[in-house]
Structure 1
Amino acid sequence: MSTELDITVAERRPLLVVLAYSGELNLRTSGEMPATALALAGDDHPHVVLDLSGVPFCDSSGLNALIVLYRRLHTNGGTMTLAAVPDRLGRLLTMTGIDRLIPTHPTVEAALAAHPTPS
């Protein structure tokens, strides 16, 4: 798996977008991540589901980037949900308490089913 971070639009629905991440979320790759995610989501999609199944590694700067993105979305009335979180990242979210702030689901399908936006 690449050490670069690639973010692509996996699905668009009214008011909601699924962004698929692949690669490491670390000091080198996380700096522009929030702005890139917001640009990909666009103004018409305030609710974002992040598919993290392709992220084998996330350090503290990557975790900070997720929090920055969450805050930017939340400030503008949007939401952020994490899906398919790898075990190692899931443990990091639990140890830091971030799992109580940002909802997580085992799959993208579960995240979409739990989301209150229209399909």
Structure 2
Amino acid sequence: MTGRSPIAQDESTGWDSAGQLRCEPSRFGYRIVLVGEVDLTMSQEWEPIFGVLSDGEPSDVTVDLSAATFIDSSVLGAFVRLHRTVSARGAELTMTGAEGSVLRTISLAGIDRLIPIVPVLET
């Protein structure tokens, strides 16, 4: 299990590097941002996101992984569920900003064949 000790905040985002997750509107639909180490300990934080995506207007969703340093299999499962939720509503799910071990984890699981990884776009 990953520790969640306090870490210095990034002044540009106001977030620290401990695992964090948020969903926000963007000009393209919704943007889901993962920061730091996101793992099973954060599984309940996905539920409000699925609620927003299921209850609102069908919208495209971009998962921004540019600040993520680690993801585990629970996050991969959330990505598959996101794909099903968004696709069922006739919208598109994409990922952006995946690098290093995060990109490797996504590729090894084959998630990049299900959900396209696009270049970083201004949201």
Alpha-carbon shift at residue 20 of structure 1 (Å): 2.4
Alpha-carbon shift at residue 40 of structure 1 (Å): 4.8
2:49 counterpart letter in structure 1:
A
User: TM-score when scaled to structure 2?
Assistant: 0.72
1:96 aligns with 2:101: no
Contact 1:70 1:80 in 2 (8 A): yes
Match of 1:71 in 2: 84
Contact 2:94 2:116 in 1 (8 A): yes
2:19 and 2:78 mapped to 1: Cα distance? 15
Alpha-carbon shift at residue 30 of structure 1 (Å): 2.6
Deviations 1:24-50 (A, max 9, x none): 2211113331x3334455612521011
User: TM-score when scaled to structure 1?
Assistant: 0.74
Question: Identical aligned pairs, as a percentage?
Answer: 29
Aligned residues: 107
**Cα 1:95/1:4, change in 2 over 3 Å:** closer
Deviations 1:46-91 (A, max 9, x none): 2101111111110111111111111111112121100101221111
RCO higher in structure (CA 8 A, sep ≥6): 1
Q: Which has the larger radius of gyration?
A: 2
Question: Residue 11 of structure 1 is aligned with which of 26, 32, 40?
Answer: 26
Taking only aligned residues, the RMSD between alpha carbons, in angstroms, comes to 2.2
2:52 and 2:27 mapped to 1: Cα distance? 10
2:97 counterpart letter in structure 1:
A
1:1-119 aligned within 5 A: 1-9=16-24, 11-13=26-28, 16-33=29-46, 35-40=47-52, 43-109=56-122
Of 41-50 and 57-66, the range deviating more from structure 2: 41-50
